[in-house]
Amino acid sequence: MEYTTRYCKYCDETKPITEWYIHKNGAPYYKCRSCTRHDERKRRNKNIEDSCGSMFVPLNAGVFADEQQKECVHSILNSLGFRYNEDNKIWWKDGYRKEDGTFVKLRPYKPKLNRKKITMEVIKEIYRLYYEEGMKKVNIARELGVSDTYVCELLKK
Ligand SMILES: [Zn+2]
C-alpha cells in the first residue's frame, strides 16, 4: 500500500507522508511526526518530574542535576534519619556513621558453619533416622551436621 498523504486525527490535519515516522515494517506511525514528538516530550517531562527533577543522576555525591533532585535526595535521607554536615559535605547517622565521616564499627564477619560433606553413608543415615527412627527432619539435620534444606529436599523425593 502506497501513501502520499495521511490524516492525523490527533492534530486533525492531512499531511504529506514525509511528515510521518515509518515503522521498520514500512507502515507509518498512527500519529504524525509533530504529534509523536509532542507526546514524547510530554512523556519525558513527566519522567523527569517523577524521578526527582532529572532522569540523569550525576555520579558524584552531593552534585545534583537541579534543585528538585537535590531536595528529593535530601528529603529521602532525612526521612531515613541521616543528617547533613555542611562543613565536610557528609551524611551521618548515629550508630552508622559519625559526623566526621568515619563509619561506626561494623559487626565482624562470621564465616558459615562447616557443614558435613554429604556421602552415601550420610544419605542412608538420613533415610534411616527419618523412616525407621521417626526423627524430625530438623533434628536429623542437627544430628548429622547437614543443612535443614538438604534434608527436606532429599526426603521430598
Ligand atoms: Zn498530528
- Residues 6+ positions from 96 with CB-CB distance below 8 Å: 103, 104
pLDDT 10s digits, 37-47: 999 999 988 88
Q: How far is the CA of 30 from the centre of ligand 1 (A)?
A: 9
Summarize pLDDT for 83-118 with one digit per residue, the tens.
999 898 899 999 889 999 888 877 777 666 666 778
Q: How many angstroms does the Cα of residue 98 sit away from the middle of ligand 1? A: 58
Query: Domain residue spans in the chain?
Result: 5-50, 120-156
C-alpha distances (whole Å) from 46 to each of 15, 18, 51, 55, 99 are: 28, 29, 9, 10, 37
* 89 burial type by CB count under 10 A (0-12 exposed, 13-18 middle, 19+ buried): exposed
pLDDT tier for residue 1 given thresholds of 50, 70 and 90: low
Cα of 20 from ligand 1 centre, angstroms = 9
